[in-house]
């Protein structure tokens, strides 16, 4: 890790100005950024600490839930509003990382990092979430643009995310046996207009994506049997010591069927698997 300067602005306006400088990066919870700096993936000239400047609300607003980007994962997971109106999202966030990560990492940091195996991006895409920044509003489909990349401009800061309420929602992920992040995760939902939405994380090098073929198959009926002959394309899928592209494609199909079936059951609708066994269901 090379030397850098630490900046602690007193307002969002000052933070935007400092973050616009060459080599500057924003620091919120630091759970992704500091790790990547240690690995040499980021070499910032300065860190602009925005902790305490970002909104920290969770509010029900016109059939959608607005969540302040400054909230930690633990705070989001424990929200009574979210448990009542969008329990699958609360349960998903409750299984991000470990307790240490959940008590430091923030919603804004997670979506801005856009990690290839991130849980939040899959939920954002499946629920058609909107990112609110210091400059504009960005739909999820336009926000996540590539491997660890978003459409955020220099100095632009995520302030909140709006998640429309869903008629049904569930998330199933299979853990990488070493790192414990999602080797593959599938978020399945039926949004307010009755349309099925399926998003996959962990499978593609470029990050989370909508699975349009699965959505088309589910359009006639949101039942797992509709996905029996659907296979995720291996193009662009990640390969590593634990899983090649074919395995990830197969796993995506299995998890998608589990997610669709789970969405019809009572409860929050999140299942975490490891080597074929359920670690926890919530």
**Over the chain, what is the mean pLDDT?**
94
Structure confidence at residue 251 (pLDDT) = 97
Q: Write out the residue limits of the CATH 3.30.43.10 domain(s) in the chain.
A: 1-51
Structure confidence at residue 282 (pLDDT) = 66
CATH fold, domain 1-51, is 3.30.43
Structure confidence at residue 267 (pLDDT) = 77
CATH class label, 168-281: alpha beta
Q: Write out the residue limits of the CATH 3.30.465.10 domain(s) in the chain.
A: 52-164
Structure confidence at residue 86 (pLDDT) = 97
Token pair recorded at residue 142? 């336009």
Q: Write out the residue limits of the CATH 3.30.390.50 domain(s) in the chain.
A: 168-281
Length reported for the chain:
282
Structure confidence at residue 48 (pLDDT) = 96
- Pairing mode, strands 58-60 and 209-210: unpaired
Confidence of residue 266 (pLDDT cuts 50, 70, 90): confident
| Residue 269 CA to its chain's centroid (Å) | 16
Q: What is the DSSP string of 16-36?
A: HHHHTSTTEEEESS-TTHHHH
Nearest to 231 by CA among 203, 251, 216: 251
Give tens-digit pLDDT for 134-178: 999 999 999 999 999 999 999 999 999 999 999 999 999 999 988
Token pair recorded at residue 181? 């992040």
Across the range 225-241, mean pLDDT stands at: 96
Residue position matching structure tokens 């796993």: 251
How large a percentage of the chain has pLDDT more than 70? 97
Give tens-digit pLDDT for 30-53: 888 888 888 888 889 999 999 999
The CATH code belonging to domain 52-164 is: 3.30.465.10
Whether the pLDDT of residue 208 is over 90: the answer is yes
Give tens-digit pLDDT for 47-80: 999 999 999 999 999 899 999 999 999 999 999 9
- Distance CA(11)–CA(32), nearest Å, equals 23
Give tens-digit pLDDT for 267-278: 789 999 987 566
- Distance CA(75)–CA(94), nearest Å, equals 9
pTM over the 0.85 mark: yes
CA distances from 18 to 6, 14, 21, 219 (A): 11, 6, 6, 47
Whether the pLDDT of residue 280 is over 70: the answer is no
**Which residues is 185 bridged to in the sheet?**
173, 201
- Distance CA(151)–CA(144), nearest Å, equals 7
């Amino acid at each position: 890790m090379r030397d850098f300067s630490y900046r602690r602005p007193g307002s969002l306006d000052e933070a935007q100005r400092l973050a616009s400088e060459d080599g500057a990066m924003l620091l919120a919870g630091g759970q992704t950024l500091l790790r990547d700096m240690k690995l040499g993936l980021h070499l910032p000239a300065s860190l602009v600490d925005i902790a305490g400047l970002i909104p920290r609300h969770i509010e029900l607003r016109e059939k959608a839930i607005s969540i302040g980007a400054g909230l930690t994962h633990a705070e989001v997971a424990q929200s009574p509003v979210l448990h009542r109106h969008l329990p699958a999202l609360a349960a998903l966030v409750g299984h991000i990382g470990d307790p240490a990560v959940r008590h430091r990492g923030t919603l804004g940091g997670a979506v801005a990092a856009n990690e290839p195996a991130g849980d939040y991006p899959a939920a954002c895409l499946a629920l058609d979430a909107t990112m609110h920044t210091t400059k504009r509003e960005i739909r999820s489909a336009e926000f996540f643009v590539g491997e660890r990349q978003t459409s955020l401009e220099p100095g632009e800061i995520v302030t909140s995310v709006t998640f429309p309420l869903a008629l049904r929602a569930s998330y199933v992920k299979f853990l990488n046996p070493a790192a414990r992040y999602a080797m593959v995760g599938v978020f399945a939902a039926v949004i307010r207009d009755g349309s099925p939405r399926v998003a996959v994380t962990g499978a593609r090098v470029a990050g989370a994506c909508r699975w349009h073929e699965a959505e088309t198959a589910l359009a006639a009926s949101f039942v797992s049997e509709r996905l029996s002959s659907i296979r995720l394309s291996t193009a662009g899928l990640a390969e590593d010591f634990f899983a090649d592209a074919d395995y990830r494609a197969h796993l995506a199909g299995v998890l998608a069927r589990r997610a669709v079936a789970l969405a019809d059951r009572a409860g929050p609708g999140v299942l975490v698997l490891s080597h074929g066994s359920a670690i926890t269901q919530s």
